[in-house]
DNA sequence: CGGAAGATCCACT
DNA sequence: GTGGATCTTCCGA
């Protein structure tokens, strides 16, 4: 069905803030051992690249870690943080700009019985337990460094058309965990589906 | 080469 | 709300 058709690379070739908004409602599909795990993207953040102090591409920084940011739009940028977590981004914007969208939270749709033990849980999960945060989401979908640089348009990790939401159903806020970024910390580049209970932490609606 | 920081999560009070 | 876990990555000396 068309909800499971991958978004094309051209989808990501637009301003990163726009891509971050339009990724809400889309499906993140992980193929794992012949099984399909699916979450609906409910929260994102835009990182604008060289002009954004919170971005790993701030001032055009190029390192071994962030090489994927300069590969091509539509590829995954996966990095390791805090000694124990991974974060998943979709590279977006213009070539060489270093823009990307952080996938901060998803609503589990398929494969929850597999995600639950991957998360180390033994009880039925409550909203947000499985993928309500960038680190949780990666753990639930078995996303790690091996998926850094892969295309999101095909293969073991894809983003599909899903269920696009209305523009007026998007909640906006400040990005999380980047207080070091000065003025950029106040830019309203965090987005979520209005009222969704699977977000990483409360929005103004709560 | 060493130190410090980090796009987080969890347990505990 | 606070503090600790944990370790790769990066930058300055």
Average pLDDT over residues A146-157: 98
pLDDT(A97) > 90: yes
Q: Is A18 helix (H, G, I), strand (E, B) or coil?
A: helix
Higher per-residue confidence, A204 vs A40: A40
pLDDT tens-digit map of A6-61:
999 999 999 999 999 999 999 999 999 999 999 999 999 999 999 999 999 999 99
Question: Does any domain span residue A206?
Answer: no
Q: Count Cβ atoms below 10 Å from residue A185 Cβ, excluding itself.
A: 16
Q: Which nucleotides of chain B does any protein CB come within 7 A of?
A: 5-10
In chain A, how many domains are there?
1
Domain span at A138: 2-193
| A 43-82: CB within 7 Å of strand B | 45, 47, 54-57, 77, 81-82
List the CATH number of the domain containing A59.
3.10.300.10
pLDDT(A206) > 80: no
Nearest to A30 by CA among A82, A84, A80, A86: A86
Question: Does any domain span residue A205?
Answer: no
Helix or strand run (H / E) with residue A35: strand A35-47
Question: Does any domain span residue A149?
Answer: yes
Average pLDDT over residues A81-85: 96
């Amino acid at each position: 069905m068309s909800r499971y058709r991958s978004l094309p690379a051209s989808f990501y070739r637009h301003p990163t803030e726009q891509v971050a908004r339009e990724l809400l409602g889309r499906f993140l599909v992980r193929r794992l051992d012949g099984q399909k795990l699916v979450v609906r993207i409910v929260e994102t953040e835009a990182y604008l690249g060289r002009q954004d102090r919170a971005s790993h591409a701030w001032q055009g920084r190029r390192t071994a870690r962030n090489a994927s940011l300069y590969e091509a739009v539509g590829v995954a940028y996966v990095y390791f943080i805090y000694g124990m977590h991974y974060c998943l981004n979709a590279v977006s914007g213009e070539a060489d700009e270093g823009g990307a969208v952080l996938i901060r939270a998803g609503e589990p749709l398929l494969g929850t019985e597999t995600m639950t033990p991957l998360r180390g849980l033994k009880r039925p999960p409550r909203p947000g337990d499985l993928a309500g945060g960038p680190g949780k989401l990666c753990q639930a979908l078995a996303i790690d460094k091996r998926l850094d640089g892969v295309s999101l348009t095909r293969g073991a990790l894809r983003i599909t058309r899903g269920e696009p939401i209305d523009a007026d159903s998007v909640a906006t806020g400040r990005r999380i965990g980047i207080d070091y970024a000065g003025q950029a910390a106040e830019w309203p580049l965090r987005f979520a589906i209005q009222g969704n209970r699977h977000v990483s932490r409360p929005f103004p609606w709560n």
